[in-house]
Amino acid sequence: MASPPQLSAIKDARVLMVGAGGIGCELLKTLALSGFRDIHIIDMDTIEVSNLNRQFLFRQKHVGQSKAKVARDAVLRFRPNISITPYHANVKDPDFNVDFFKQFNVVLNGLDNLDARRHVNRLCLAADVPLVESGTTGFLGQVTIHLKGKTECYECQPKPAPKSYPVCTITSTPSKFVHCIVWAKDLLFAKLFGDKAQDNDLNVRSGNASTSDHTDDVFERRTDEDIEEYGRRIYDHVFGYNIEVALSNEETWKNRNRPRPIYSKDVLPERPINQNGNMDGASATDNPSSVSAMASLGMKNPQEIWSLMENSKIFLEALKLFFGKRDKEIGNLSFDKDDQLAVEFVTSAANIRASSFGIPLHSLFESKGMAGNIVHAVATTNAIIAGLIVIEAIKVLQKDAKNYRMTYCLEHPSKKMLLMPVEPYEPNKSCYVCSETPLTLEINTHQSTLRDFVDKIVKAKLGMNLPLIMHGSALLYEVGDDLEEDMVANYAANLEKVMSELPSPVTSGTLLTVEDLQQELTCNINVKHRDEFDEEKEPDGMVLSGWTQAPAVEKKDENHVGNGVGTSKNMPTNAEQVEMNEDLEIVPADVEIPAEKKRKLSEISNNDGLGTSRGAAETNSHSKVEELDDDDDVVFICDGDSDTIKRKKLH
């Protein structure tokens, strides 16, 4: 039970929750039980089956409905007299502006993606509303607290950038299964079923073709070409012919294992045995979304690792089903982890490619995790984290600053602790979000266009939503609904111009101002011209610095961020930094592997003088008698990372 002063702070508070997912469901329940009476909750997502194992406010019958609304109704069943206001919307919608945020006493995040977290961080700073931020992965989680000017903001420490892969690793020299997944998903799937007009590295490959068989676009199905023939032609082209072409470049294979070209006739009988049965099996239902190659081939177990032959059958079957049952969608499909047929296609294609390159094959279950960037989640961690969020929120409402804590939920105890509180840090004085430190951009001003700058820096690195770019008093670019037509045309023209040829030329020494009016964030950027960039290390062709490395949304997965699939890039920062599910690497279905990721945290903890054993705890013990509230926490020393600014404890 909350104490009387706590209760009075709670009952008068108006709180905003962002996210009604794994943490959100637990949080809403705990807030309601704790006596909160005015709760607003934003979530753009609808309920999916795979949510039901932990988002306990939702039932099978709710699949497809708004999370925020269903969560509200469920909580009102056990706390009918409180007010819960749901918003089935994206927190980045302009309606949720600074004034909207100002009405709350505290904002509580239960989000699953970096992009939205950064956005909420900025609005909380602009509105000067305290933010309690959280995240979980498997058994690990953390709660942090952010108050403008008093503690670090969410972006004071750069988050680990998601892994991106050099293009040639994906197109020519894969060495891990995930490379094959990226190839199958972003190149092959996109090429066959997505927007044909889009640039695609597979194009380049096929364009190299010199034989008459490979003229024009091999991926185009010829008029009245039999679907089976077409499938085999694609198969032979991407797994056979393209590999032969790659092998002809001897230089590439000097220090690598040579891949093996695979042709359909070597793996499968000339014509499929059960050709007639196939389509019938799948047409048991007419709902295109339930079409499955596994089902029509009578394969059931997603955990099973298929043989090369099985993968080849799935590949051809899936392709056939796309053209036979879902032909209307072809041309504008993008990969979705919840699209069974798409997952089957990508799994089989990745496995066939993996066979070629001597990489171990993986099950559909594992492939789906990699392709969909699936976050590992269990109910217990979310429940613990939600409890800790409420504890912190109550302190914020009572303005109990000296007791603010960031808390880490660990898998293995550190200094006997499974839940480890740490005092929050002071703001990073060079943080471009919560201070006014200018940034530096190295860029080839004669080659990079304004569009490159907007896409690669302003959106991807600075995380701006509605940017406005100025050079002195000259407006170079802006986004908005109320712009004059001629301005829109002007900006569109500017986007295609290289930096040095803009109406107000951007050259070495130029100071650019970039603003986001919704986030009320302004950044100054000093431009420095540079001729050359390392293709592998600096694939953007430009480098932003001044506040260490910026986090970026994995480009290859940008389309998923909107799905809320999210990569939860919210793990302990800096000394407590744990790299977690921020990349495409997925943890196999085995608890030992997360433990390995986790170990980084305890290792760092040990370096920081935190003993993990009881022995260490005893050596630390003082002879004096301690009072309960006498805080004898071990001090965290947060260096050892020369790139980051040393952080000071608040007290």
Partner 1 sequence: MDGEELTQQETELYDRQIRVWGVDAQRRLSKANVLVCGMTGTVAEFCKNIVLAGVGSVTLVDDGVVTEEALSANFLIPPDESVYKGRTLAELCCDSLKEFNSMVRVSVEKGDISSFRVDFFSKFDVVVISSCSLATKKLINEKCRRLLRRVAFYIVDCRDSCGEIFVDLQSYKYTKKKVDEAVEFELKYPSFEEAITTPWRKLPRKTAKLYFAMRVIEKFEEAEGRNPAETSLLDLPGVLKKRKELCEAESLNESQIPDSLLERLVVGTQEFPPVCAVIGGILGQEVIKVISGKGDPLKNFFFFDAFDGKGIIEDISNPDAAS
Binding residue numbers? 19-24, 43, 51-54, 67, 112-117, 153, 156, 431, 434
- Taking CB under 5 A as the criterion, the residue among 25, 243, 388, 433 binding Zn ion is 433
The amino acid at 342: A
By CB under 5 A, tell whether 153 contacts Zn ion: yes
Rounded CA-CA distance 117/111 in Å is 7
Q: Which residue from 515, 406, 410, 530 is spatially nearest to 468, judged by alpha carbons?
A: 515
Binding site for ATP: residue ranges? 19-24, 43, 51-54, 67, 112-117
Q: Which is nearer to Zn ion, 256 or 429 (by Cβ)?
A: 429
| Residue 576: CB minimum distance to partner 1, A | 15
Cβ atoms of residues 125 and 103 within 8 Å = no
335: three-class secondary structure by DSSP: coil
- Report angle CA 70, 76, 79 to the nearest 5 degrees: 150
Total H helices, total E strands in the chain? 23, 14
Stretch that binds Zn ion, among 48-56, 155-163, 277-285, 503-511 (CB under 5 A): 155-163
Give me the least distance between CB of 400 and Zn ion, in Å please.
22
CB of 64 to partner 1, least distance (A): 15
Q: Which is nearer to Zn ion, 95 or 436 (CB)?
A: 436
Interaction of residue 523 with Zn ion, rule CB under 5 A: no
> Does 439 engage in binding with Zn ion (CB under 5 A)?
no
Which of these segments, 146-154, 343-351, 517-525, 617-625, binds Zn ion (CB under 5 A)?
A: 146-154
Among Zn ion, partner 1, none, partner that 151 touches (CB below 5 to 8 angstroms by kind): none
Please name the helix (run of DSSP H) or strand (run of DSSP E) that holds residue 232, with its range, or none. Answer: helix 227-235
Q: Which is nearer to partner 1, 46 or 97 (CB)?
A: 46
Between CA 483 and CA 424 the distance in angstroms is 43
Query: Residue 225 or 304: which CB sits closer to partner 1?
Result: 304
Q: Measured at the alpha carbon of residue 167, what is the angle toward residues 162 and 171, in degrees to the nearest 5? A: 125
Residue 348 · residue 312 · CB < 8 Å: yes
Would you give the distance in Å from CA 393 to the centre of its chain?
26
Residue 87: in which H helix or E strand, if any?
strand 83-87
Measured from the CB atom, the residue of 122 and 556 that comes closer to Zn ion is 122
Applying CB under 5 A, the span of 149-157, 188-196, 385-393, 520-528 interacting with Zn ion comes to 149-157
Nearer to partner 1, 391 or 498 (CB): 391
CB of 636 to Zn ion, least distance (A): 19
Looking at 56-64, 296-304, 430-438, 637-645, which segment touches Zn ion (CB under 5 A)?
430-438
Answer yes or no whether residue 434 interacts with Zn ion by CB under 5 A: yes
Other C-beta atoms closer than 10 Å to the C-beta of 208 total 12
Q: Is 131 in the site for Zn ion (CB under 5 A)?
A: no
> Which residue, 649, 647, 648, is CA-closest to 157?
647
- Per the annotation, the verdict on 168 as an active-site residue is yes
Query: What is the β-pairing status of strands 439-443 and 140-146?
Result: unpaired
Residue 156 engages Zn ion in binding (rule: CB under 5 A): yes
Of 168, 180, 409, 638, which residue is the catalytic one?
Answer: 168
Token pair, residue 374, equals: 């699936």
Helical spans, DSSP H, in 89-154: 98-102, 114-127
Catalytic (active-site) positions = 168
Residues that bind Zn ion (CB under 5 A): 153, 156, 431, 433-434
